[in-house]
Amino acid sequence: MLLHNARARRGRYDESLRDILNIQAADESRAWLSTWDGLKAGPTPLWDLPDLAARLGVGSISMKDEGHRSPLGSFKALGAPIALIRLIRRLWPDENFIPAKLVAGHYKARLQDFTVVSATDGNHGRALAAAARSIGCRCVIVLHRHVNDERRLAIEQLGAQIVQIDGNYDESVKEAARLAGEHGWHVVSDTSYEGYETIPRDVMQGYGTIAAEAIEQRNQGSYTHVFIQGGVGGLAAGVVSYFAERFAERRLFCVIVEPEQADCLFQSAVKGQAALATGSVDSIMAGLACGEASPLAWRFLHVLADAFMTIPDDAAVDAMRMLAAGAERDVPLVAGESGAAGLAGLVQASSSAEDRAALGLDERSSVLLLNTEGATAPALYRQLTGLRADDVLAAQRGWLARQKEGA
């Protein structure tokens, strides 16, 4: 289902939005992140997929591959560490904690009794646990019933204490807040709620790195469209705000993609305010299985997102397989179930003449997609695709070697 956002606007980036998310703070975050050994050096790959573009009837498709961002396997490695660094520096303003020394563990003795807590669908909690381990503070992660054992074990292996609840993601957010109040811990969440916006802002600011790299990697960002995953909206707000400030009226046409049963941003667009999803929220796209939009993220998306669309779970699985298969001119890619959602949205839109017209998609369109995660749950990836992630990565290396030989 596709919904055009009549409230979307172009032009100069609004000062009230710039006060919250801006390029200067995003670039500062990027510089701090570059000192953390939890991330791989340099930008993530930007893959061109010409055969897929021809198949879908667009000029080009560029896939920013966040599965290569870090051993954690997802874009979340950009948000949680920055939020934790900024939180610690705010709490101890007179200590003059240097970000590079923080993530190198120079202040472990000072911070060993400091505890952070968060709810997660998997990737944010894993990133927060990794950052806390590097810095030397304690970390507690609240998991809901839909988080599978692979993701739980990955978080535990990073030293975090796990609290499991029977409810869904939104209930785990409430439980994290309750535990923080009871124990004097600090919530480091990627979703905002009443009275809690500063840390989600910091998380979103970290995601600006993705936009900055995409601009540098392709002719100053000569894209016409971006299909970007929804969730609570933090990724989309962090990325689209960067493009909006940089390009003003020439910013990309932004399409938000969500699971049918976790459509909180779609419903927010319908109602004109941050809203709840209408479905069960139990999607195979675990990172997007969010029932309540982040009010802070919605402040950006209600004027910077041009369209909202929902996709069935099967579409995401089909997109995972499509990316894994590659083509003669398309490198094989490992995309998790949430990572493939943007492509699934583009495939769905491209199959409808009405949707193509509504989105302005044609043979001149240059589409940016974000693979937000690799196989962060390898057994689930194999179950859904019939392929081992390691075998797809081996095929990727083989494809790249052939391209190099033929150059």
**Element holding 271 (H helix, E strand):** helix 264-271
Q: Are 188 and 128 in contact (CB under 8 A)?
A: yes
Side chain identity at 342, as an amino acid letter?
G
CA pair distance 210, 178, nearest whole angstrom = 33
Residue 41 CB contacts under 8 Å (≥ 6 apart), including other chains: 34
Q: Are 284 and 384 in contact (CB under 8 A)?
A: yes
User: What is the reported pLDDT for 169?
Assistant: 83
Q: Angle CA(314)–CA(170)–CA(129) in degrees, nearest 5?
A: 90
Residues annotated as part of the active site? 76, 121
Full pLDDT tens readout for the chain, 407 residues: 999 999 999 999 999 999 999 999 999 999 999 999 999 999 999 999 999 999 999 999 999 999 999 998 999 999 999 999 999 999 999 999 999 999 999 999 999 999 999 998 888 999 999 999 999 999 999 998 888 888 899 999 999 999 999 988 889 989 999 999 999 999 999 888 888 999 999 999 999 999 999 999 987 568 999 999 999 999 999 999 999 999 999 999 999 999 999 999 999 999 999 999 998 888 999 889 888 999 999 999 999 999 999 999 999 999 999 999 999 999 999 999 999 999 999 999 999 999 999 999 999 999 999 999 999 989 999 999 999 999 999 999 999 999 988 76
Q: Are 231 and 291 in contact (CB under 8 A)?
A: no
Q: What are the φ/ψ torsions at residue 220 (nearest 5 degrees)?
A: 60, 30
Neighbouring C-beta atoms of residue 328, cutoff 10 Å: 8
CA pair distance 113, 136, nearest whole angstrom = 9
Q: Are 239 and 226 in contact (CB under 8 A)?
A: yes
User: What is the reported pLDDT for 117?
Assistant: 97
CA pair distance 266, 136, nearest whole angstrom = 39
Q: Which one-letter DSSP state was computed for residue 57? A: T
CA pair distance 194, 216, nearest whole angstrom = 36
Nearest to 10 by CA among 245, 226, 211: 245
CA 180 vs CA 112, 116, 139: distances in Å: 17, 8, 11
Q: Are 52 and 330 in contact (CB under 8 A)?
A: yes
Side chain identity at 397, as an amino acid letter?
R
Residue 147 corresponds to which tokens in the numbers above? 């988080």
Phi-psi map region of 214: left, alpha, beta (phi>0 left; psi -120 to 50 alpha): alpha
Q: What is the rounded end-to-end Cα distance, in angstroms, of the chain?
A: 42
Q: Do domains 2-74+205-406 and 80-189 have the same CATH topology?
A: yes
User: What is the reported pLDDT for 146?
Assistant: 80
- pTM of the predicted protein model: 0.93
User: What is the reported pLDDT for 50?
Assistant: 98
User: What is the reported pLDDT for 221?
Assistant: 66
161-164 β-sheet, strand order: 161-164, 138-143, 115-120, 186-187
Nearest to 353 by CA among 362, 345, 344: 362
CA 383 vs CA 152, 284, 317: distances in Å: 18, 12, 10
| Beta pairing, strands 2-4 & 307-311 | antiparallel
Q: Where are the domains of the chain?
A: 2-74+205-406, 80-189
- With residues binned 3-state (H G I as helix, E B as strand, rest as coil), the percentages for the chain, rounded to 5, are 50, 15, 35
CA pair distance 176, 186, nearest whole angstrom = 9
CA 114 vs CA 91, 92, 186: distances in Å: 11, 12, 8
User: What is the reported pLDDT for 407?
Assistant: 62
Tell me whether residue 383 is exposed, middle or buried, using C-beta atoms within 10 angstroms of its C-beta: 0 to 12, 13 to 18, 19 or more: exposed
Neighbouring C-beta atoms of residue 45, cutoff 10 Å: 18
Q: Which fold has domain 2-74+205-406?
A: Rossmann fold (3.40.50)
The class of domain 80-189 in CATH terms is alpha beta
CA pair distance 389, 374, nearest whole angstrom = 8
Q: Are 202 and 87 in contact (CB under 8 A)?
A: yes
